[in-house]
Structure 1
Amino acid sequence: PEASAAPDKGDGSGNGSQAAEDLNAGRKEGEDKVLWLKTAKVDGPGIGIDAKGQWVVGDAVVKAVGKNLTAYGAADGKEQWTLAFPFPVCSVTPQTTADAKTVVLYRESGSDTAPCNRMRMVDLKTGKEGWSKEVPKEGHFDIMTAPTLGLTGDTVTVSRNGGSASAFRISTGDRLFGSGSAEGCRPDAYVAHNNKVISIAGCIDKDGNGEVSDADPVTGKKSWTFRLPEKYKVTSVYSLDPVVLDVGNDQKGERSIVVLGPDGKQRATVSGEGKFATECNNAPLGSLEVCRNTVVDGGTLYIPTAAGSGKPNEIVAFDLGTGKAKWRTPAGDSRTLTPIRAENGQLIAYRSAEKDKGGEVVAIPAAGGTPTALLRHPSGAAAPIENAFYYPQIDYAGGRFYISVTRLRAQGKDEKLLMVFGK
């Protein structure tokens, strides 16, 4: 591992509450406030630059842009620290350890096509970096184009589109296990979340079927294996506790959602009307990770339907014991509802903004029923800005809502980066 560098703490002079006064102009009675909006003026390559990471840590929000991670005060948007990487950050996970550490991947050089194969542990509370290392190859065809990261306990998994995956100890960077040394079918991906890891493998046998196994987060050893139906593959992972998978057969145009029990046996198949938004932030070339736009809690899967152009979607709650739909909550108007998380017997979701109407953070009772607004974002000047965040990253924590872009055009002009709402 390479030596650590201290973060640039910033002097707090950055204009955190940029134009916040103007953004609250036209606010109606009962609406909450824009706390601050951060813009970015960056010159980059013609294809733009990635800005995928966003983490809310204590009283700060950390945002990744290009080769930098920057922390802003949650209340006022003032810069707290910036940590620069040698080359652009190319893969992140929204997950952190209990003490706010995460692992970030960055490119081996400044080229857009350079392998995404350098790993660094970062303390998101302080902006200090820990160990750094190159991801060791698990075989000859180990392609580090668009790897995905998963994190649970002291384990981080790195899965890549070349059909290789490995796991490392977060505290030290040591390799724990990988597909190069796995028993049986070779894992294409390790998916980690909430104290669990599963392995998704393609098998080189006459059937060419895939299989899913559990994996011990320290040793990688499996205790059960679920064989996929012929020519089916895992297209999305909704949960690891219980294991809920979206599986499909491209040749036949068939797909279904399967629920596995603790022994790896199929417990139920989820079915319901509607086209579901199941792309789950998986890049076209990327490997699998747990979906960010679905929530599993208390034996229920909350999943959004795909929104048609200018048409509302809905969130559907499925009983994972029976596979049947329990209730549906429509977004209304021409809006979109996106699940954020479950807490206190409710589902927290974001109802997107329209050009003349702010978005909302709502709570929907786990048993179904009318959503209650936790935050009503202002109309007026703020709504068209909020409405123009396409494929954003969203978080709701400590009574504040965070929304940020995942890519910047980087053409030397001011662009919206991160917007925060609160009481």
Structure 2
Amino acid sequence: MTASPPPPPGGPARTPQIWDTDIARRGTAPPGFGPPPQPFGADPGGGGGAPRGRRKALIVVLALALVAGLGTGGWLLWGRTQKDPRHRAEPSAPPRVDTRLDWIVANPDKDKALPSPKRPATWFAHGNVIRTWSRQITALDVRQGKEQWRIALPGELCSASRRLDDDTAAVMYKQDGNTCTGLMAVDVKSGRQKWDRRVPLHDERTSDYGDPQVLVFRGRVKVMGSSESATFAAADGKVLEHPRLNPADNCMENRASTDGKTLLSVVRCSLGSDREFVQRIDPGTGREDWTWKAPEGLTIRGVLSVDPVVVTVGRTDSSDTSTNLISISPQGRTRAVISLTDHGGAIDAIVGKDTVYLASGDKETAASTKENRIVAIDLAKGEKRWETNAGGNRVGTPVGFVGDKPLFYQGAQSGEGGRLVTLDPRDGAPTVHKRMPSESSAEEAEVAALGEVYFHDDKVFVVAAAELRPKNLMMSFG
């Protein structure tokens, strides 16, 4: 590639590129690019391919929506009168570990063959847990599980934004048969549709938004697909950008991720051979802070973390499996290449400040139960810090963080409820954070199968995969 994508029309001058070719210069692929393991999860911030595997939906994208509420401690509040500072309030009691089943929502369509929802999303706002389903968006009161509002979709769900922006969410749906051309923005505070429109196409016959991604960021809605992309005003749906892209000889943005502050764009270019890039975009100016080039022969499967930047990659000639993680420095240079194959064929992961926590695939133990391993890897050097089975006889899947401690969900089994376990970032020592009751273990196991688990405001939410037609759709423990 000899030139990078031009800046937006009328935009500021482009900053110098930082091309990281340390890996690309090697005669062979870096260590760890061995046989592909089980599929790795998609980006928690909104990028990457469709979820794969038993616990994809538990990735990443989950931690970004919860961290702000999990790591805060209690403040000592002083009155207006000047009292002796020694007369302080007694320390609050530690959080209760044992939970109860607060509510459970039955599936009204359990006997109907529902289509599999594409990239479903769950949001928490204004005392509600809000979920996208195949044909609707539903808000339930987090305290009692009662429906607060519902918005019907004119067609089957294609994709949904992973994050909210100023109480705005956006979804794409099938408008013309199997074509994802409908775009709707909703206000999650009022529970009303903001606008609904058809996305523009340059050529109705040859272009489409196949495998689309939706992202809401700073008052804009971005939609990216296989051969089209467009940007709309979140307030009224006005088209702000609809670039004409020709993948045969130009570059196109086909994925983007955000943590609400920073925007990462995944760009694919075709000039003799396919090459892919990650660009960090300054949200204030729209200009590139840096551009990182993927090593030759590798394709970017997803963005696992925006800050710090961690991407998942796989061989270009392989379908959709990820073989490695690559951490990227704040300056846009490769920090470390981490093999997923070398760490038990990791299939799920979450990223902390300086560490990635990998969850390996299941293995049957001598007690006829299953467990897996959690491996902590240093993002700067790619070296293993520790490895643990997080208590044994359970399979742990990442949910998020409590402070700086990674949080994993271990499913219900043999008459025992599931549990949330935190791991000490220094040595991996496990601590049970929440324990679900044994009385509802059977229902919990059914809802959690291929589903998702969230921890919000000291409550545990287990959300079912609708395509399995389970008896119940959602459970809450508090």
The alignment's TM-score, normalised by the length of structure 2, stands at: 0.69
Q: Tell me the alpha carbon deviations over residues 173-199 of structure 1, each in whole angstroms, 9 at most, x when there is no partner.
A: 344445636995222323333322223
2:455 matches 1:383: no
Query: What corresponds to 2:451 in structure 1?
Result: 392
| Structure 1 residues 152 and 363: CA distance shift in structure 2, 3 A | farther
- Paired letter, 1:83: I
RMSD of Structure 2 on Structure 1 (CA): 3.0
Partner amino acid, structure 2, of 1:136:
P
2:192 is equivalent to residue 128 of structure 1 = yes
> Which AA in structure 2 matches 1:340?
V
Q: Is the 8 A contact 2:135 2:154 kept in 1?
A: yes
Deviation per CA, 1:201-240: give whole Å up to 9, x if none: 3322223322222234477543422222222101232112
Displacement of 1:37: 0.9
Q: Aligned match of 1:241 in 307, 318, 328?
A: 307
Indicate the SS of the match to 2:256: strand
Structure with the bigger percentage of strand? 1
User: Please, which runs of 5 or more residues in structure 2 have no aligned partner?
Assistant: 1-95
Distance 1:269 1:362, change over 3 A: same
Letter in 2 for 1:305: S
The answer to whether the Cα contact below 8 Å between 2:215 and 2:222 also exists between their aligned partners in 1 is yes
Unaligned runs of 5+ in 1: 1-28, 279-292
- 1:199-348 equivalences in 2 (<5 Å): 199-217=265-283, 221-251=287-317, 255-271=323-339, 273-278=342-347, 294-308=349-363, 311-348=370-407
- Which residue in 1 is equivalent to 2:102? 35
Identity %: 25
User: Which residue is 1:50 aligned to?
Assistant: 117
Deviation at 1:387, TM superposition (A): 1.3
Aligned pair partner of 1:407 in 457, 462, 466: 466
Match of 2:207 in 1: 142
Q: Which amino acid is 2:155 matched to?
A: F
- CA 1:339–1:230 in structure 2 vs 1: closer, same or farther (change >3 Å)? same
Contact 1:258 1:269 in 2 (8 A): yes
CA 1:60–1:350: 2 relative to 1, 3 Å: same
**Conserved? CA contact 1:48–1:409, under 8 Å:** no
Residue 102 of structure 1: how far off its partner (Å): 1.1
Decide which of 201, 221, 227 is 1:156's aligned counterpart.
221
Q: Structure 2 vs 1, CA of residues 323 and 153 (structure 1 numbering), >3 Å: closer, same or farther? A: farther
* Higher RCO (CA < 8 A, seq sep 6+): 2
Residue 244 of structure 1: CA displacement?
A: 0.9
1:88 aligned residue: 156
Deviation at 1:150, TM superposition (A): 2.9
- How many residues are matched? 371
Say which SS state the counterpart of residue 408 (structure 1) adopts: helix
The structure-2 alpha-carbon separation of the partners of 1:85 and 1:254, relative to structure 1 and needing over 3 Å to count, comes to closer
Q: What is the alpha-carbon distance in structure 1 between the residues aligned to residue 258 and residue 268 of structure 2? A: 18
Q: Is the 8 A contact 2:245 2:251 kept in 1?
A: no
What one-letter code is carried by the residue in structure 2 that aligns with 1:419?
Answer: M
Query: Per the alignment, do residues 320 and 163 of structure 1 end up closer, same or farther by CA in structure 2, a change over 3 Å counting?
Result: farther
Partner of 1:104: 171
Q: Is the 8 A contact 1:268 1:322 kept in 2?
A: yes
Worse-matched range after superposition: 44-53 or 333-342: 44-53
Structure 1 Cα separation of the partners of residues 100 and 385 of structure 2: 34
Greater C-alpha radius of gyration: 2
Deviations, residues 268-301 of structure 1 (Å, cap 9, x unaligned): 22247323444xxxxxxxxxxxxxx532221222
> Residue 117 of structure 1 aligns with which residue?
181
Q: Matches of 2:350 and 2:297 in 1, distance apart?
A: 27
